[in-house]
Amino acid sequence: MSSPDAGPPRPSRDERPPRDERPSPDAGRRIKVWFRFVPREDWLPYETEGLWATRLSADTARVDNVPFLQDGVAEGETVRFTTDADGVHWSTGRVADSGNCTVRVLPLPDGPLGRDARAVHERLAPFGLGGEVFSADFPLVAFTVPGGADLRAIKELLVRGEEEGWWHFEVSCATEAWRAA
């Protein structure tokens, strides 16, 4: 897991492809958008992650849940996708930021929280953060951190928790506001 300022840099507005504004007959429908990535060594052995999204146009959708594995994307962001011959929607990149960050927290089994994902939630609940748990066997908690949250205090708690042996954490999608906090 990495530092509180980690996360891939976001492309500048000039580097983003133009948005396809064509209305889709399926606009507003929830779809699963899949992301491909290279698995990390000593991490979960997956090469893809599917995220729920709301279709916005023929080739764009807004991500509706927090990613556990995919770096560089957060809940609320708009992604472009292509659809393969089997009807599977594959992300081709992010086209609009949400202002949110993604933080993943893994409680240490031999730490004061044990493998208790609920205890992780309780520590971050005062900031209004909601998260999802990967599984009971692997209590990784992925949180969406809204841009308007108290980023400095959240970062301080995450670092303190790591220093005190509660958890490991990583920031897989960071904004400039997060980096500056």
**Do both 155 and 113 map to the same domain?**
yes
In a domain, 61, yes or no: yes
In a domain, 5, yes or no: no
Confidence band, pLDDT 50/70/90 cuts, at residue 41: confident
**Would the pLDDT of 10 be above 70?**
no
User: Diameter of the chain by CA atoms?
Assistant: 53
**Do both 63 and 116 map to the same domain?**
no
In a domain, 6, yes or no: no
Higher pLDDT, 22 or 139: 139
Which structural domain, as residue segments, surrounds residue 133? 101-180
**Do both 157 and 112 map to the same domain?**
yes
pLDDT tens digits for 69-108? Answer: 999 999 999 999 999 999 999 999 999 999 999 999 999 9
The gap between the terminal CA atoms of the chain, to the nearest Å, is 19
**Would the pLDDT of 149 be above 60?**
yes
In a domain, 63, yes or no: yes
Q: How many CB atoms lie within 10 A of CB 71?
A: 17
Dihedral pair phi/psi, residue 7, rounded to 5° = 120, 140
**Do both 176 and 111 map to the same domain?**
yes
**Do both 37 and 86 map to the same domain?**
yes
**Do both 60 and 117 map to the same domain?**
no
- The CATH number of the domain holding residue 131 is 3.30.70
Confidence band, pLDDT 50/70/90 cuts, at residue 26: low
Average pLDDT over residues 22-37: 80
**Do both 87 and 18 map to the same domain?**
yes
Beta bridge partners of 34: 50, 90
Cα–Cα distance for residue pair 54/63, rounded to 1 Å = 7
Cα–Cα distance for residue pair 59/55, rounded to 1 Å = 8
**Do both 107 and 71 map to the same domain?**
no
